[in-house]
Homo-oligomer: A and B are copies of this chain.
Amino acid sequence: MEITSIIGNIAATLTTMSFLPQAVKTIKSKDTGSLSFPMYLMFVMGVLLWLIYGTLNRQMPIIIGNLVTLLLAGIILMFMLRDQLRKKRNQDSGSRI
């Protein structure tokens, strides 16, 4: 394998798998306080489009890489959505008092 291909493969593995420790930390701590909601919303939408792009071009590495990232970033986004809903519910019940 060429040196550039090896570099590209390591790069793809690192950027894809980097979301694993964040997902594990978020699942364990259930704390999303310093995570940015717009970041995960934009990121998950972007990864979803990469998945469509890979499917239309039948590029398996793009499909697999983005499926893994979508799963991991999607879990983090779900936790953030839950926190956002909880915050909104608390605000609503607070304003009724």
Q: Please give the residue numbers on chain A whose beta carbons come within 8 Å of chain B beta carbons, in ascending order.
A: 3-4, 7-8, 10-22, 24-26, 29, 31-36, 38-40, 42-43, 45-47, 49-50, 52-53, 56-57
| Interface hub of A3, A18, A56 (most chain B Cβ within 10 A) | A18
Per DSSP, chain A at the interface is helix
B residues near A31, Cβ cutoff 8 Å: 33-34
Q: In whole angstroms, what is the CA distance A50 to B65 when docked? A: 15
CB of A94, distance to nearest CB on chain B (Å): 22
B11/A50 in contact, CB under 8 A: yes
Q: Hey, which chain B residues are within 8 Å of A49, CB to CB?
A: 7-8, 10-11, 14
Known: A14-B45, A34-B35. A56 touches B4 (CB 8 A): yes
